[in-house]
Each structure stands twice: as structure tokens, then as C-alpha cells.
Structure 1
Amino acid sequence: MPAASRRRPTTRKGRPVLTREAIAATALEMAGADGFRSVTMRALATELGVTVRALYNYVEDRQDVVDLALGLMLDSWSPPPLHPATWEESVVGYAQSLRDLYRRWPRALLVSLDEDAPPASVHPKRLLGLDSFLQLLHGVGLGLPAALEVHRHLSLLVLSFALVVDPRAADATTDRGTLVPDSWLEAHADLDIPALRQAAALPIPTADAQFDQLVSVVVAQIRGHLDASA
């Protein structure tokens, strides 16, 4: 039986052991919970249990921290192989890989609103992933304008789903089994909203079922483009 790999200690003589990897991981967790605006050098140092001066022994500045965190996030993305012969399964797998990535660190996705990242800091996977998806759609017969339309649609669906639906589904304190909480309807008993009251009595599909429904809409959109071109 092979010996178990030894984990690198996180402390030495009671003090945290700093690495660029540890800094990136902590910054990403902070950004995932509260956005990159929460990742200041002072807050990061406090979270790691070190001084701000100690951080500068490992990173150049805050931008370096942001780049490290984004790099770690994109490095963890594992999109599936995309094949035109099985394009429907490929689209579903690609969408699921994005959802898996996004819901790990949902508020880190708002980096474009929080930060002005220089072009050189853009992770290559962002470009390679987009290119692979466009090649998939182009390979099954979509022109690039239609392929871009599909990609924009899919990206917006997955992003909004990861920011709105997945966090709510994971929060045990929210009433996620109905369209609107009963307390809302009771507080506005005088409102004439019969359709909403009937809809509110219906069960809401699980987050996974809702996601599958959204992706099926994108698949149908692709089929529509293919039928139109034929």
C-alpha cells in the first residue's frame, strides 16, 4: 500500500506559513463570498492571520493578488471535450462545467464590475474555452454570428443562475419550495393577483431541474438556427 502523501504544514511555530497559493486560495474564497472589493490587503492579511508587510514578501501588490485568485479559479475549470458529432451532449456538458465553476465562487464572477484588470492578466482559458465552444457550433453548421448569439445566451443564463438560483437553493433558511413566500401574499391579501396566488401553490422544480430546462432552451435555439440554415 503506497504511503499517504504528506500535507504541507499550514503553520510553523504557531505562525501561518504563507505561500502564493495560500494567498490566492484565501483571496478567492473572500471574493466568492463578498466580491473582489472585499479583498483588501489588510482584510486578506487578517484572514490569513499575518501582517500586511508579510503579504508583500509573496505578492507585488493587490493586482497581483487578484490575478492569482482569478488564475486559481480558471485553473479549476474543467470543460469537457466538445465534439460536433455529439453536439447536444457537448453543449450540456459545457454548460454544466460553467455552472460547477461559477457556483463555487459566485460573487467572484462580478470581477468585471469590481476590477479594471489589464488585458495581459486575462487567463488563457477564458479565450480557449470561448474558441472551443464557437468551433463546436461552427462545426455543426452555425455561422459565427449565430454561434456568438448562442454563446451570449448561454453565458447569461449560467451566470444569472449561479448568482441567483444556486445560492438560494443552498441556503437552508430560505423558502425555496414556492414561487413567492406565503408571508408576502398574506401581507398583501388585498391585492387582486389570482394567477400569482395559484402559481404560488405549485411546487418549484429543484435547482438542477431548472438548470436542465434552461440548457434545453439553448439546445432548442441551436436547432432553430440549424433548421433555418437548412
Structure 2
Amino acid sequence: MPGGGAGARRRGRPRKDEPALTERVVLDAGVRLLARDGLDAVTMRGLAAELGVRAASLYRYVRNKDELLDALADEQFAGIDLTRYVQDDWRAALTAMATALRRHLLARRDAARLIAGRFTTGPHSLRNIEALLTVLRGAGLSDHDAAFAAYTCVTSLFGFVAAEQNRLSAEVAAGMAPREYLDRLAGRLRAMPADRYPNVVALAGELTAPDLAARFDFAMARLLAGIDALVAAGEPR
């Protein structure tokens, strides 16, 4: 798996009564565990239990939990190829990339939370970051601005999706429908002391509006406007 060394992975040897393992088998088990039980369940012990082996047997294939998470982060990109969206119209390209990636991540439990903040060198991750950089450099951005804009794009998207996938509150975690919670929340916000929280009270309805797609479109429009300003400035750094 990415980031490991052959010597580091030979600490554990499977017992004769344990299932045969390969890197692919270990990674697939990690993907299953993440999808079924969520990111918090992805530990070396949890993975060993999923495979029916001792945790020590895993060290032949992955050195530790962080290396496992790196590999799983790259695997989240296996089913999406952003190179298909590369085109001369950089605004259309970035919009198509972000829309496709948001849809892809929303279909995978805790994917955005797993990926956020990780810069891995797995083949799937590199393929997609290469596509993003191709579009940004093709738009005319300097190397500095292209690199920084790419970081802004991905962190903004991962943060947005992570927020979408997170539970809104303890009430929602306990089973309340998100729409019911937001309706009740709007009522509570409107009932706040207007002298202390005038803006919260005034915007209670907008703050709790359910249209995440519209919020995503708003965020994308602002992001594109910022990149457009850099392109127009044309100042190398």
C-alpha cells in the first residue's frame, strides 16, 4: 500500500489457520468496513476482525492505521476519473469536476471526512489532481496560483460534502428527520432575544433552508469568481 516499505510490512506472518491475505484483500476489507460502519470503526483491530485474522498479520501489508487510511483515501477516487471533464472552457470544466466529485463522495460514507487534509500519492488521487491542475494552468494561472487554487477547490469541496454527510444534531442522530429538526431550529432561532442576536433572528429562515444544492451552486459561483479575478489579473508570482 502507498507509503509503506517492504521491510516494514514483514513484522506479521499469518498463522496457518488464518485466511490468505493480499494487499487487495486487505484494502477491500477496509473499504467494506468504512462503508458499513463508518470512519471511526476503521482501526487495525477492526480490520483484523473483518478479515478474521490477528492484527499482527496485517503488518505485512500495512504498517499502521494512518497508512491504511492513506490507502483508503486513494481508493475513494478509484471510481471517478476527472480527466473526462478537462476542456478549454475552464469554468465549465471546474463546475463539471466539482459536481461529479460531490455526487461521487456523497454516495460513500465518511469519504469526504476521510480524505480532507490528506495528500496521498496513490494513482487515483494523482490522476485527479493532475486533471484539476491541467484545467487551472490552462486557464492561465501562474504555477503559484494554480497550486493554491487547487488546494482551495478541494478543501472547499471536501468540507462542504463532510458537512452534508454529518448529522445535524443529537436529535437527528437519535432519529429525528433532518427537515423536522431544521423547522424546529428555525423556530428556536426566531425566539432568540433580538437585542442580542438581531442577525440570527432576522435570518433564521435562510440559515435553516434545506436547499443544499443551491448552497453548493452559490459556493461554486463565488469560487469561480475568485479564480476569474486571478485569471484577469494575470500577475505571475
Q: Same fold (TM over 0.5)?
A: yes
How many Å apart are 1:97 and its aligned residue? 3.2
Contact 1:84 1:137 (C-alpha < 8 Å) held by counterparts: no
What secondary structure sits across from 2:84 in the alignment? coil
The match for 1:182 among 184, 187, 207 is 187
TM-score by length of 2: 0.66
Correspondence list, 1:117-132, <5 A: 122-132=121-131
The match for 2:78 among 65, 75, 85 is 75
Identical columns (%): 18
Q: CA offsets, 1:163-188, max 9 Å, x none?
A: 1134348x6633564695434554x5
What secondary structure sits across from 1:77 in the alignment? coil
Uncovered stretches (5+) of structure 1, i.e. residues with no partner: 1-14
State the alpha-carbon separation in 2 of the partners of residues 184 and 200 from structure 1: 6
State the alpha-carbon separation in 1 of the partners of residues 152 and 63 from structure 2: 36
State the alpha-carbon separation in 2 of the partners of residues 57 and 178 from structure 1: 49
Aligned twin of 1:195: 199
RMSD: 3.8
Q: CA offsets, 1:123-144, max 9 Å, x none?
A: 0333332233222222222222
State the alpha-carbon separation in 2 of the partners of residues 229 and 111 from structure 1: 29
Count residues in correspondence: 205
Contact 1:74 1:123 (C-alpha < 8 Å) held by counterparts: no
Does residue 109 of the first structure (1) align with residue 135 of the second (2)? no
Uncovered stretches (5+) of structure 2, i.e. residues with no partner: 1-17
Distance 1:86 1:205, change over 3 A: farther
Contact 1:99 1:158 (C-alpha < 8 Å) held by counterparts: yes
Distance 1:134 1:189, change over 3 A: same
How many Å apart are 1:96 and its aligned residue? 2.2
Contact 2:77 2:124 (C-alpha < 8 Å) held by counterparts: yes
